Amino acid sequence: MSRGVEIVLHLALWIVVTAFLLMGAVTSKPPEYFADVFHNVRSLLYSIPLFYLFYSFLVPRILARRKILIFLLLSIVIIAIAGSIIWLIDTTNPIRELRESAPWTDLWWRRYVRGIIISCYISLLSVVIRFGVDWFRNQQIRLELINKNQASELALMKSQINPHFLFNTLNNIYSLANRHDDKALDAMVKLSGIMRYLIYDAQADRVSLSREVEYLENYLDLQRLRLRDPGSVIYSMDGEMGELKIALMLLIPFVENAFKHGDKKAKTPAIQIELNVNSNLLYFRVRNSIPEREIEKDQTEGIGLSNLKKRLGILYPESHKLKITDQNGIYQAYLEIKLDKS
């Protein structure tokens, strides 16, 4: 809650309190009316210091720091003093001379108890409002921190994704060049297209689904160039992408993982990739065979998929389904996302 909003809230509070005090005097007739107004204005004047003593000092500086015993002791002393002041003001109330006093009002201790009760009401109102303002302000701060953390986390994830992908791709090109394979030149062309995508589109949070799929297909072509059997990778795409948008590089980590850890010597298709678009729903499935002999894993394993899960949780918290299974020598990742056009 901003300082300006808090000031407006306080002004509204005292306007409402003043209105109630004046309404209480409306039923009186002159000269009692003017005496009632005078008495109520005096009541307002001693209420304001008591209110802000709790609001600005006791609650934020003592109660908020969990000094409960000190808060209770100070509250008792302050309320007792305020009650005495109210009793003195009520005793000198000129309206008492204009009306026939009720029998109970002649008892000083009853008037004193009345002052204590009024002081308690004012103090309690101050504490409740202060806690409400602090709670609302803390909620705003919490949301701001969450947004900042999410933005920082996404930036960090992007910085991890791009080098991770380039590291694998350059290894592929090096492998082709080391074999003096003419396909290395085609690989460089594909890589330049991918780099253009990363440089020019990476600034946006969302890219067109068609551009992301084009990037995915270029990546697959680049990977096929280094395979002895390109047919071991099966890719299918169905549906109309239209103007749908998707988060940048959201599909690649599945495919990277399949190429990095899949068994490319499997008799059945080593890697199967299925992409389907139905209305605004994207269905994406990646299967890969797992080598019978477990290979020692390097330190970078899991960066892509780990970051992907975090990104999905941040960017599509309520509009995605992710299921990963590892059964019968087949590793499968299934992703379903509800996309939009903006």
Residue 323 maps to a domain: yes
Residue 274 maps to a domain: yes
225/310: higher pLDDT? 310
pLDDT of 7: 82
Residue 150 maps to a domain: no
- Please determine, for residue 198, whether its predicted confidence score (pLDDT) is greater than 80: no
Same domain, 83 and 133: yes
Considering 115, 143, 171, which residue would you say is the last residue of a domain?
143
CATH number of 268's domain: 3.30.565.10
pLDDT of 33: 56
Same domain, 214 and 127: no
Write the pLDDT tens digit of every residue in 148-175.
Answer: 666 656 565 555 555 666 776 788 788 7
Same domain, 224 and 110: no
Dig out the tokens for 74 from the structure.
């100070």
- Please determine, for residue 200, whether its predicted confidence score (pLDDT) is greater than 90: no
Residue 166 maps to a domain: no
Dig out the tokens for 237 from the structure.
């795409």
Same domain, 196 and 297: yes
| pTM confidence score | 0.53
Same domain, 192 and 44: no
Residue 160 maps to a domain: no
Same domain, 90 and 200: no
Same domain, 117 and 234: no
Same domain, 133 and 186: no
User: pLDDT grade, residue 322 (50/70/90)?
Assistant: very high
- In sequence order, the 6+-apart residues with CB closer than 8 A to the CB of 34 are none
What is the Rg, in whole angstroms, of the alpha carbon atoms belonging to the chain? 36
Contact (CB, 8 A) for 185 and 342: no
Same domain, 54 and 193: no
Same domain, 185 and 112: no
Same domain, 311 and 194: yes
Residue among 238, 288, 235 nearest 264 (CA): 288
Domain count, the chain: 2
Residue 168 maps to a domain: no
Domain that holds residue 305: 181-338
Considering 143, 164, 191, which residue would you say is the last residue of a domain?
143
Same domain, 93 and 36: yes
Residue among 257, 224, 226, 232 nearest 331 (CA): 257
Residue 39 maps to a domain: yes
Residue 92 maps to a domain: yes
Write the pLDDT tens digit of every residue in 215-248.
Answer: 899 888 887 876 777 778 899 999 999 889 998 8
